[in-house]
Structure 1
Amino acid sequence: MSAEPDLEALFAAALAAQQKAYAPYSRFKVGAAILADDGKVYPGCNVENAAYPVGACAEAGAISAMIAGGAGAIRAIVVIGDGAELVTPCGACRQRIREFAATETPILIAGPDGIRARFSLAELLPASFGPANLPK
């Protein structure tokens, strides 16, 4: 397995997931795709709910798919949203990603035309609290 993730495949999976998002209230569709430690790509999309804001973020859906698929760690993640501004993971999703990713894990932010920015988890969630903080 190469050290650099296949960004085209991750972008394509995130874009496909974004197109399937259920966002009838905000009309703001977000997609995500995780490259996991098993080499597979796990997509997710946001899913809203009439009891707004009881919905699920795209990153949370991708993480759930990864765990359900039997993988245990995030090697890279792409998050895609529309608009001129970067659509980075919300605070809760940054913490969710932290549970399964190393501080150097790349978090790639995309728009419809491709990757717009690249961050490490440490850049988006500095001095984070994670599994290593808890006694074993």
Structure 2
Amino acid sequence: MTPPLTPAIAEQLRRVLVNAHAPYSGVHVAAAVEGVDGRLHLGVNVENAAYPQGVCAEASAISDMVTHGGRAIRRVYLASNLPGFIWPCGGCRQKIFEFAEPGCEVVSVTAEGEEERHTIEELLPLGFRLAPR
């Protein structure tokens, strides 16, 4: 059984969520990518007037992981200022898939602390990799 979302991770997501730069949509998203080494990498969305040149929170967190030498994802956590659960866009699903260990979970958490989990294979059933892992 997968461990529940820890209060510490939920708090980190809430803490960085306010740093999202979303002047156009008003939608703030925070992501935490857990590498296979157990390290947590955080990211937020950064919108840009030259749409679609912004950066999704998931891509931001993956970039932080890679910058710090990580190459494989065990789990991804997401939070936003919207009601209900949120899920990665198609481009981020592919980004996650390319680094994901088999069975990598994507965990969405609401402001009320509810969580829902899906594997990346469920979210992107026919994902592909060009480079072998």
Q: Percent identity?
A: 39
* Residues 1:5 and 1:112: Cα distance change in structure 2 (over 3 Å): closer
Aligned to 1:40: 39
Cα distance in 2 between the residues matched to 1:54 and 1:8: 33
Q: 1:77 matched to which residue of 2?
A: 76
Deviation at 1:111, TM superposition (A): 1.6
TM-score (norm 1): 0.86
Distance 1:115 1:73, change over 3 A: farther
Give the residue type in structure 1 aligned to 2:96: I
Structure 2 residues without counterparts, runs of 5 or longer: none
Cross-structure match for 2:15:
16
* TM-align CA RMSD: 2.0
> Is contact 1:28–1:81 with CA below 8 Å preserved after alignment?
yes
Structure 1 segments unaligned to the other structure (5+ residues): none
Equivalent runs, 1:56-135 vs 2, <5 Å:
56-131=55-130, 134=131
Corresponding residue pairs, total: 132
CA shift at 1:50, angstroms? 1.6
- Residue 5 (structure 1) shift: 7.4
What TM-score does the superposition give when structure 2 sets the normalisation length? 0.88
Offset of residue 29 of structure 1? 0.3
CA contact (8 A) 1:73 1:100 kept: yes
